[in-house]
Amino acid sequence: MKKQVIYRGAEAEIILSKYRGKPAILKHRIPKSYRIPHIDSLLISMRTKEEAKLIIEARSTGVSVPIIYDVDLQKGTITMEYLQGKRIKDILNNLQEKERKRLCQKIGESVAKLHTHDLIHGDITTSNMILLDDRVYFIDFGLGGKNSEIEAKGVDLHVLMEAFESTHSKHPSCFTYVLEGYQNESPALAKVVRVKIDEIVKRGRYR
Amino acid sequence: MITLGFEGTAHSVGVGIVHNKGKHCTVLSNVIKTYQPKKGGIHPREAANHHATSIADVLSESLKQSHLRFSDIDLIAFSQGPGLGPCLRTIATAARALALSLEKPLMGVNHCVAHLEIGRGTIKDCTDPILLYVSGANTQVIGFAEGKYRVFGETLDVGIGNCLDKFGRTIGLSFPCGPKIEQYALKATQYLSLPYSIKGMDIAFSGLLTAAEEYYRQGKPLEDICYSMQETAFAALTEVTERAMAHTEKKQVLLGGGVAANTRLRTMVGTMARERDASFYVPIKDLCVDNGAMIAWLGHLMYQSGTRMSIEDSVIDQRFRTDMVKVTWR
């Protein structure tokens, strides 16, 4: 079968594949020849392993994620469920404000669920969320990890804040809605994380 | 239109004169003089004193090399920020004085955006790049999206140049340390593991610096430490740049800032670009480092597209962020 690449990101190819006869997604981390083999193989196997672990743990917290079928650390591949939905990045700008608010709050609730279990996504952007059957699925945990510190949770949300600013700048309330959802899910965590985000913003250069 | 630009955000003071041929920038002169601290890093007051003493000479030399007279100049531009306060104030004063005495318009510009625009202005085909801007203080991945220059990723602590300089000072090198570290790295025999820190599209170097200094204290070969620092830090820089390119779907990458002179970094970013069928550009060295020509060029673009600045509005801004610039010329 010819390799069918449905998306080529910065670090991996997303290939349409099959697992036991069922359609599946193969995420293949591509070796990069710009970096030395030592760093390259370490990053690829570490990130593949960490990602698979995080996706499985995220599922147990009630956050929607693809089901993992298989993992190969040497090849740097994860075989997982094929989610035939729409990227939030592509639809968010075209929604009615009310619907956009509902969706952003949902996103916030899911992020709070991850964070209350010390799961850090590491790259929360709207390109890494898929809407399917009115559920927001989180994909690409490749830069994530486990961390109980407020700092890590703040940075995690700050990445999303910056993504909104650069990709959905016409809808400045998105991040506020996310924080509302986050607060509904975990008021105590929301309180400290909000303070932390302000601190992170100020820490950035020239703020 | 002929524009004269003053640069002086950090250790370099420069005066450049540019002329536009349509949308292309022709550099008529670009004189740079750099403050060299006797020891340690840049002392802002000493650097400002250096700029104040040098600026008249740099200005006359630049004018001489351009074969122009003061009366030929149509616009005076200067770096309004970001940078060191005392340095910025010194060159802003020079720019205001010249503009008032020649009765020519004045234009303050953003230093970081100037690094990107000089690439677009002087390199044919470089039209819409992602800029990896790597200098002492600044490490940013910048691109044009939704009407503004946006920072897609940046350092969360020190700039890459500063990180290399700090390590260099630990091992007794003089400023700038980057070129010497590059030489050491060529003679390395093995890679030593260092923290590789990427958060989303942002990057951090302080952990890497601490670990490298620890290797030095343990007596590990300097060549290996320098090599490992370069390989780790530059791989991370290349990775965030590639992520920004994938995110924005841009097919061009531009390198700018003093660290862009590093051959290994150029090779890595160039390889990354080739592997994703993108084009890779680096301006000539004098347009990569802090220089007056790039300031003049951005001033020109702003003026041509209708921006005007009164003397009252020409106050410097040490924290002038890339995404605060109102882009009227694109």
How far, in Å, CA of B46 to CA of B123, rounded?
Answer: 35
Q: What span, in angstroms and rounded, lies between the C-alpha atoms of B302 and B300? A: 5
* Helical (H) or strand (E) element with B203: strand B202-203
Cβ atoms within 10 Å, residue B278: 18
**CB-CB under 8 Å, B318 with A170:** no
Q: Say if residues B7 and B92 touch (Cβ distance below 8 Å).
A: no
Nearest to A206 among B82, B268, B275 (CB): B82
A127 has a chain B CB within 8 A of its CB:
yes
Contact between A127 and B272 using a beta-carbon 8 Å cutoff = no
Cβ contacts of B138 on chain A, cutoff 8 Å: 205
> Is the CB of B319 less than 8 angstroms away from the CB of A207?
yes
Of A13, A30, A34, which to mutate for an interface test with B (greatest number of B Cβ within 10 Å)?
A34
Q: How far is B242 from chain A (nearest CA, A)?
A: 6
The mean pLDDT value for B267-296 works out to 97
| Residues of A with catalytic function | 123
pLDDT confidence tier of residue B174, bands split at 50, 70 and 90: confident
Lowest mean pLDDT among A87-96, B61-70, B125-134, B216-225: A87-96
- Give me the residues paired with residue B14 across strands: B7, B32
The whole-model pTM stands at 0.86
Q: Are A32 and B272 inside 8 Å of each other by CB? A: yes
Question: Residue B324, SS3?
Answer: helix
Long-range contacts of B315-318 (CB under 8 A, 24+ apart): B315/B80, B315/B92, B316/B80, B316/B81, B316/B83, B316/B85, B316/B88, B316/B89, B316/B92, B316/B108, B317/B80, B317/B81, B317/B82, B318/A206, B318/B81, B318/B82, B318/B83, B318/B84, B318/B85, B318/B88
Portion 67-96 of A in contact with B at CB < 8 A? none
At residue A44, φ and ψ (nearest 5 deg) are -65, -50
Assess contact for B7 and B16: CB atoms under 8 A: yes
Residue of A nearest to B195 (CA): A39
Best of B193, B199, B327 to disrupt the A interface by mutation (most A CBs within 10 Å)?
B199
Between helix B222-248 and helix A37-60 the angle, nearest 10°, is 50
Sorted by sequence, the CB contacts under 8 Å of residue B119 that are 6+ apart come out as B126, B129, B131, B254, B256, B281, B283, B287
Ramachandran angles phi, psi of B175, nearest 5°: -70, 140
Average confidence score pLDDT of chain B? 96
Helices (H), chain B: 44-66, 85-102, 111-122, 160-170, 178-186, 206-217, 222-248, 263-275, 285-288, 292-304
| Residue whose pair of structure tokens reads 């910065």 in the numeric block | A10
Residue A113 · residue A185 · CB < 8 Å? yes
Instruction: Write the ipTM.
Output: 0.88
- B239 pLDDT above the threshold of 60: yes
Judged by a CB distance cut-off of 8 A, whether residue A206 touches chain B is: yes
- pLDDT value of residue B199: 78
Burial of B56 (0-12, 13-18, 19+ CB in 10 A): exposed
The one-letter code for the residue type at A33 is S
Distance CA A132, CA A144 (A): 23
- Alpha carbon of A207: minimum distance to chain B alpha carbons (Å): 6
- pLDDT, greater one: A2 or B48: B48
pLDDT per residue as tens digits for the range B73-126: 999 999 999 999 999 999 999 999 999 999 999 999 999 999 999 999 999 999
What's the residue count for chain B? Answer: 330
pLDDT along chain A (207 residues), means of 10: 81 94 95 96 93 96 97 95 94 93 97 97 92 96 91 93 85 93 96 94 69
**Encoded tokens for B281:** 């550009």
